[in-house]
């Protein structure tokens, strides 16, 4: 996830992972953020590009929450 987090458009996600896998992983994480925190906060993340500003926690913590949710 950290490698995907470092990709900024217009650089394709396929530069760090197999492109199909990268989009599935990214889509899963985005879906988690929207379901858990709501679309308005995700829009804020998209605009600010800062997890700490938007969610009050570092990216690694959000990744941990997402990974835990996959086991539920």
The burial of 44, by beta-carbon neighbours within 10 Å (0-12 exposed, 13-18 middle, 19 or more buried), is given as middle
The rounded distance, in Å, linking the Cα atoms of 72 and 69 is 5
Domain enclosing residue 66, as ranges: 2-71
CB 22 within 8 A of CB 13: yes
The whole model's pTM is what?
Answer: 0.78
Instruction: Identify the segments of the chain with pLDDT beneath 70.
Output: 1, 4-11
Number of domains into which the chain is organized: 1
So what's the pLDDT on residue 23?
85
CA distance 67 to 64: 5
């Amino acid at each position: 996830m950290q490698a995907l987090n470092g990709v900024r458009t217009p650089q394709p996600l396929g530069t760090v992972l197999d492109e199909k896998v990268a989009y599935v992983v990214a889509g899963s994480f985005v879906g988690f953020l929207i379901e858990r925190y709501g679309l308005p906060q995700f829009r804020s993340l998209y605009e600010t590009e800062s997890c700490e500003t938007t969610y009050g926690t570092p990216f690694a913590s959000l990744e941990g929450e997402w990974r835990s949710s996959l086991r539920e």
